[in-house]
């Protein structure tokens, strides 16, 4: 993992991952704690030898029956889910917000809450270039055992 190769403290790492316990498109920030059964978070914890990293939890919703979870996380997003998530990722990629992502690790709870509120606000999202819009969102909700990671400088 990039963070361990660069001797980055787990407290300076942000892992973005899907979360069944959040409504599709909702975001939450958490530091430390258990994986809640998320295989990607288990893998990150093992690589970092610590669970003290920050998590950007991205809601994907939950199927009606618990038995359906393994299939649910691998099936394609619905059109409505895709629309919701693309809008969320476009807001996260806005320069004014992406420049503030280090605040996830360094800011107070109030600063983190304000950042989440700013991301949740759909107003004034700049349009993407047509070539960027043409890129498809990943077909699967997640890949088993994988979570996206970014070390914060």
Strands 13-19 and 148-151, by their bridges, are antiparallel
Domain that holds residue 84: 2-151
Q: What is the pLDDT of residue 76?
A: 92
What are the pLDDT digits (tens) for 64-86?
Answer: 888 788 889 889 999 999 999 99
Q: What is the pLDDT of residue 86?
A: 92
% of residues, the chain, pLDDT over 90: 27
The number of domains in the chain is 1
CATH number of residue 7's parent domain: 3.40.50.1470
Say whether pLDDT at 124 is over 60. no
Q: What is the pLDDT of residue 1?
A: 58
């Amino acid at each position: 993992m990039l963070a361990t190769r660069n001797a980055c403290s787990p407290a300076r790492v942000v892992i973005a991952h899907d979360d069944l316990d959040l409504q599709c498109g909702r975001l939450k920030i958490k530091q430390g704690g258990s994986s809640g059964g998320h295989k990607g978070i288990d893998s990150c914890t093992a690589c970092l030898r610590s669970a003290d990293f920050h998590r950007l939890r991205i809601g994907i919703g939950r199927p009606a029956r618990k038995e359906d979870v393994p299939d649910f996380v691998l099936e394609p997003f619905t059109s409505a889910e895709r629309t919701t998530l693309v809008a969320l990722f476009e807001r996260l990629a806005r320069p004014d917000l992406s420049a503030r992502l280090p605040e996830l690790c360094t800011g107070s709870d109030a600063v983190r809450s304000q950042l989440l509120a700013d991301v949740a606000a759909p107003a004034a999202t700049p349009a993407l270039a047509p070539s960027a819009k043409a890129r498809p969102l990943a077909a699967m909700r997640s890949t088993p055992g994988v979570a996206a990671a970014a070390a914060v400088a």
